[in-house]
Structures are given as structure tokens and as C-alpha cells.
């Protein structure tokens, strides 16, 4: 089915070469591709899988939430956040691809598992992530799933917040949209205690900051304590 994201740039069919799979996320699969002679990342939105996990929701509600998310992601422009380029979809049989900046070194989690980095690099990453999150919060955007796997490292060693597909819900939005986008929260180690204590699966600016602090801890000791 065609997903219509009002105000979002659509890249013409045939302009992107889709190459190898990079990994799977909460809502779909990420591929490496080529557009305008540069590497890009393409993230699919698997509507059927989202609908399967939330069988009580109408498909139209799921599509509406995805359209809203993509529209908000397109407004984010900051060096500390992975850049969104546009959508790519050819017809009703083709999945929607979200086309984004490609970060050659992969996730922060991967970098930490491979190497121990000097302190100047660690401090640089902390600053870049902090500025990226500050920018999102100033736009009223809550990331909701901050962890080392959702921070990407460029070839030049810059850190960028990624995976905003589960971000963007504020208190004015319906519970349906909130439930759909929060479904990506899987790693309990990074979820603030108040979410469990209050039994509410709605994040806040403060829970983002809590998660960022745990990412800082992970940078220092290359791991985070297991969830109790």
C-alpha cells in the first residue's frame, strides 16, 4: 500500500540502488544503498509486522502513526542526528524505504566492542550526543530508545543519534500513536525506573536523559550493568 507522508520529499523510483542488508530493527530491515553516487542507509517499514504485534489496532491507525513519524523525522536537521534524505516507494507492492545518511563505522555498540578509544574521542562522542539530544528536546521530540545500538559512528568518528522511528510522541498525541511508536523499546537496561514503577510506557525528556547517562557509562566501561 502507498503511505502518504505530507510535506516529505519522495525520491523517484529507480534513482536508488539497494545493496546489502545491514541489520534488522523493531519495525523493519535496514539496507545499504547508493543514491547520487553516495552511500545511504534505507530502512523499511514492515506494516504487516507492526500490525501483527498490535492485532487490536486498525491498520489505518498504524499507517497514520507511521506517516506522522516520518513527517516529523524529515524536520530534523542537526550534526548530532542522522540526516533524513527522503522516502522511496515505487508502488503498492513495494515497501516504504526511509532514506538516511550512511554511517560507515556502524553502531557505537559495535565500536565499543571492537576497540578501546582514547578519552578525547569518548568525550567528543558524549558532547555530540548531548547536543543532538538537546536539539531534539528543543523541538519537542523525545527519542525514547537511546542506547549504544541507536548511536551511529561516521567514517570521521562523529557520533549521531539514530533510529528515530520510535521517537516523536508528545502528550498531545493519541494513545494509539504512542503505543505504536513505543513498541520499539526492547532493552530494559536503558529504561528509566519510573516507567516500571508507574507501569506507564510513555517516555519523557527526563527518561531520555537517564538513558543518555547510561550510554555515557557504557562508553567509559564498555558495558552497562544488567537490568536487575
The annotated binding site for ATP is made up of 43
- How much is the pLDDT for 57? 64
Mean pLDDT score of the chain: 78
Q: Is the pLDDT of residue 222 over 70?
A: yes
* Distance in angstroms (rounded) separating the CA atoms of residues 141 and 130: 14
For range 30-36, the mean pLDDT: 92
Nearest to 179 by CA among 91, 99, 62, 13: 62
| Per-residue model confidence as pLDDT tens digits over 155-191 | 999 999 998 755 543 433 444 444 444 444 456 677 7
Contacts of 129 (CB under 8 A, 6+ apart): 80, 151, 159, 161, 212, 215
Nearest to 169 by CA among 160, 178, 161, 158: 178
- How much is the pLDDT for 177? 44
CA distances from 72 to 11, 112, 140, 188 (A): 17, 30, 10, 26
* Percentage of residues in the chain having pLDDT higher than 70: 65
Q: Is the pLDDT of residue 7 over 60?
A: no
For the chain, what are the domain ranges?
Answer: 16-101, 108-221
Rg (CA), the chain: 17
Q: Which pLDDT band, with edges at 50, 70 and 90, does 87 fall under?
A: confident
| Per-residue model confidence as pLDDT tens digits over 109-148 | 999 998 889 999 999 999 999 999 999 999 888 888 899 9
Report the CATH architecture of 16-101. Answer: 2-Layer Sandwich (3.30)
Residue 97's H or E segment, with its range, is: strand 96-101
Q: Is the pLDDT of residue 217 over 70?
A: yes
| Per-residue model confidence as pLDDT tens digits over 45-56 | 766 666 666 566
- How much is the pLDDT for 8? 62
Residue written as grid cell 500500500? 1
Nearest to 66 by CA among 97, 94, 93: 97
- How much is the pLDDT for 25? 64
Range list of H helices, 115-204: 119-138, 175-181, 193-197
Other Cβ atoms closer than 10 A to 22 = 17
- How much is the pLDDT for 171? 38
Domain at 108-221: CATH code: 1.10.510.10
- How much is the pLDDT for 174? 43
The annotated binding site is made up of 43
**Contact (CB, 8 A) for 181 and 167:** yes
3-state helix, strand, coil in the chain (%, to 5): 40, 20, 40
* Percentage of residues in the chain having pLDDT higher than 90: 38
Amino acid at each position: 500500500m502507498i503511505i502518504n507522508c505530507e510535506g516529505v520529499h519522495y525520491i523517484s523510483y529507480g534513482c536508488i540502488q539497494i545493496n546489502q542488508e545491514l541489520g534488522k530493527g523493531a519495525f523493519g530491515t535496514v539496507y545499504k544503498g547508493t543514491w547520487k553516487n553516495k552511500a545511504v542507509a534505507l530502512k523499511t517499514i514492515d506494516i504487516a509486522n507492526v500490525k501483527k504485534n498490535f492485532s487490536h489496532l486498525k491498520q489505518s491507525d498504524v499507517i497514520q502513526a507511521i506517516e506522522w513519524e516520518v513527517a516529523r523525522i524529515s524536520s530534523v536537521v542537526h550534526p548530532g542526528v542522522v540526516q533524513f534524505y527522503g522516502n522511496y516507494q515505487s508502488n503498492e507492492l513495494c515497501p516504504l524505504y526511509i532514506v538516511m545518511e550512511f554511517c560507515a563505522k556502524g553502531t557505537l555498540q559495535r565500536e565499543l566492542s571492537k576497540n578501546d578509544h582514547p578519552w578525547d574521542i569518548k568525550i567528543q562522542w558524549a558532547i555530540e550526543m548531548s547536543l543532538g539530544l538537546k536539539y531534539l528536546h528543543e523541538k519537542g521530540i523525545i527519542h525514547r530508545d537511546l542506547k549504544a545500538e541507536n548511536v551511529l559512528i561516521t567514517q570521521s568518528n562523529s557520533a549521531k543519534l539514530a533510529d528515530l522511528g520510535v521517537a516523536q510522541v508528545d502528550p498531545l498525541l493519541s494513545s494509539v500513536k504512542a503505543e505504536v511508536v513505543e513498541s520499539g523499546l526492547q532493552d530494559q537496561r536503558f529504561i528509566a525506573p519510573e516507567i516500571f514503577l508507574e507501569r506507564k510506557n510513555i517516555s519523557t525528556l527526563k527518561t531520555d536523559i537517564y538513558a543518555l547517562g547510561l550510554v555515557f557509562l557504557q562508553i567509559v566501561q564498555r558495558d552497562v550493568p544488567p537490568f536487575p
